[in-house]
Amino acid sequence: MAYKKHKNTHKGAALLFGIFSLLFFVLLFRFVQLQTTGKADGQVLAVKAEQKYEQKRTIEAKRGTILDRNGEVLAEDTPSYTLVAVLDPKMTTDPKDPKHVVDPDRTAQKLAPLLHMEVSEVKSILTKKAKQVEFGAQGRNISYELKKKIEALKLPGIGFIRDTKRFYPNGTFASYVIGYAQKEEDTGKTAGAMGIEKSLNRYLHEKDGYVFYQSDKEGFRLPDTKEKIVPPDNGDEVYLTIDQKIQTFLEDAMNQVEKQYKPKKIIAIVVNPKTGEVLAMGTRPSFDPNKRNITNYLNDAISYPYEPGSTMKVFTLAAAINEGVYNGNELYRSGSYRVGKNEIRDHNKVGWGVITFNEGVQRSSNVAFAKLVKEKLGEDRFLQYLHRFHFHEKTGIDLPGEGIGNILYRYPIEKLTTAFGQGTSITPIQQIQAATAIANDGKMMKPYIVDRIIDPDTKKVVMQNKPEVVGEPITKETSEKVLDILETVVTSEKGTGRPYQIEGYHVAGKTGTAQIPSPKGGYLTGYENYIFSFLGMAPKEDPKLLMYVAVQQPKLSYTETGAAPVSMIFNSVMKNSLQYLNIRPASEETEKTTSSKKGIELSSYHGWPVNEAVQDLKAKGLQPVVIGNGEKIAAQLPSAGDETIIHERVVLKTDGTATMPDLNGWSLRDVMKAAELLQLNPSIKGSGYVITQSIRPKTIVKANDYLIVELAEPDKWKDRINQQKEKKDEKKKQPVD
């Protein structure tokens, strides 16, 4: 029995020895395998270990900035914050320094007015059964200023998550051009959704960078280890052809008309006709891209085709002159013109008797243009010119969503109504492109709105747009003759364009009154149910600006015509823009004589004693204005070598302390001289001559100060001056204590 027990014990020991031996050899084999191959289950162990302790941190990239032609920011990324509230009491380890919301009532009362929410609404969020909560839309995209106000309340448990948001500093400003960008829900990245933000998203788009490093189990970087950096790829900077100043003139004018006349639509475009650069483009209704209160997702300036009305006559006239079939002194009978079973009538139904074709243009006679096409130019040749002016195709402007009109040219009556802008539809940007040929010696320029794209890190030019001639539908001689006739539309007592006269400048242009199709067929009726427009350019001698304005269905008084709201926009924007661009008005001397007299070439007064410079300028018939209390001249505008006209202001800045001059009665052009010399940020309201200024005369100023100037037309300015004189006289009469 004992032997048997002893024998079993030996067998058990042998079995255990065998098992442990087998395990030993398996482990030994595995160890040798790992040492020789460095792999386990097909994975490299060193890499796996490195990955386990490798940390990855994001380096945020910045979406590209959109700027105007002069580098003024129109859209950029700015820091934003999301408000959060910690509700979990476990987050507080020290009762004296709570990290969660301890008093929901007090917290709600403090936060509600800052978030523009009801107290009860905030409290309901703060009493949820959650560890951490946010405050919905009102708690997102919080500005740095509001963040500071909330932090100053020192509310326990209230904190912020930092983020970036797209910011549009000018609000409602070329909104359909710039568009807007928004966060994508699936990626959290910002992407363009409209306008330039959308069409150039591939350039503006950013790509985050990363830093990789080895860490300990707590996540801290291990000393003496290398880090791998993938730098962020910031979005490119996009410079537009838009000029912030001219766009501001346009936005202000459209706001005024929208408030006063409440039209269904306003469309306005300003371009440089020599290059095709769009300097300003705006529509109403519009929206603030920061708020996205959008009612219309189309840019009507490029997407809205409609019957242009009489502005189309510009191109019919150009075609007839170019073909040598136009005789402005030839007589015809106005009023009506029968074409088969149809009758074409002038807008006053009865006409003006027998008149010349030139007078027909001035009066905007439909009959004159129907006869030009039917009897002189020919319908086939006219169609060729419609194609030469590219009315059959898109302009190709670098904005998304461009539309195209429709040339109705099937029936005989359609061919003639197209001559004066009825039946056929075109877009505003098509009219602008065609009109560049009138203002640019017959060369038609493609409109464009993106000037250049720059890599913000290397400053390398990624893309540079250049002016593009897309056709020469007419000759230089024809364009000059058309300009001469269009000027009489504005200057003649018989002209429909008289409301568009601008003091000091020669304007050439054509009015338009377009009918609006009725949903029930035919056209809408009623005094206001039209699209009133004006296509104009200035100065006529060598147009530097070309502008189209259209106002649809304004609320007019019985004494007003459609020209009232249209001219309010055109005249203000055109005059302010010409002055801002230092385009001199026509000299009174050149208007009185047929021979042109050369202006006064300005000398350099740099380093001159103030008294000597003033005396020299007065002797030349100029008006010197001295800024500062120094003894010698440090700068001047106009610059040395520039030509000036008699009585023009010459602003001289001394080497002493800079002081603000009295701007009363100054023109916008003179104000801009002073602002440039003083390095001020001017904000201009109105048009005409200065009646108020935000900085008192003789006040010491420094660079980047803001100067707000209000201008008024000459009659209002004189009234204001008289009122100021009366107040001074009354003060003199008062007894002195």
Decide if 675 contacts 635 (C-beta within 8 A). no
| Phi, psi angles (nearest 5°) of residue 274 | -80, -25
> What is the rounded CA–CA span in Å between residue 84 and residue 105?
16
> What is the rounded CA–CA span in Å between residue 701 and residue 118?
45
* Strand stretches in 489-599, DSSP E: 508-515, 530-538, 545-552
> What is the rounded CA–CA span in Å between residue 421 and residue 379?
15
> What is the rounded CA–CA span in Å between residue 84 and residue 79?
16
Structure tokens that stand for 169 in this block: 């500093």
User: What DSSP element (H or E) covers 317?
Assistant: helix 313-322
Chain-centre distance for alpha carbon 14: 92
Structure tokens that stand for 289 in this block: 């891209």
> What is the rounded CA–CA span in Å between residue 50 and residue 346?
87
Is residue 567 flagged as an active site residue?
Answer: no
Q: Which residues of 384-418 are buried (b: 16+ CB within 10 A; e: fewer)?
A: ebbebbbbbeebebbbbebbbbebbbeeebbbbbb
> What is the rounded CA–CA span in Å between residue 619 and residue 621?
5
Contacts of 123 (CB under 8 A, 6+ apart): 104, 105, 108
Nearest-5° Cα angle at 604, 601 to 610: 115
> What is the rounded CA–CA span in Å between residue 455 and residue 61?
13
Between the alpha carbon of residue 113 and those of residues 117, 127, 246, 254, the distances in Å are 6, 18, 38, 34
Structure tokens that stand for 9 in this block: 């014990």
Q: Which residue has the tokens 């073909």?
A: 323
Decide if 339 contacts 416 (C-beta within 8 A). yes
Name the residue among 617, 629, 608 with its Cα closest to residue 700.
Answer: 629
Q: Which amino acid is at 361?
A: V
User: What DSSP element (H or E) covers 580?
Assistant: helix 563-580
Structure tokens that stand for 330 in this block: 């030839």
Decide if 632 contacts 607 (C-beta within 8 A). yes
> What is the rounded CA–CA span in Å between residue 584 and residue 568?
22
Name the residue among 215, 436, 415, 416 with its Cα closest to residue 318.
Answer: 436
Contacts of 589 (CB under 8 A, 6+ apart): 597, 645, 646
Write down the catalytic residue from 286, 310, 425, 667.
Answer: 310
Catalytically active residues, by annotation: 310
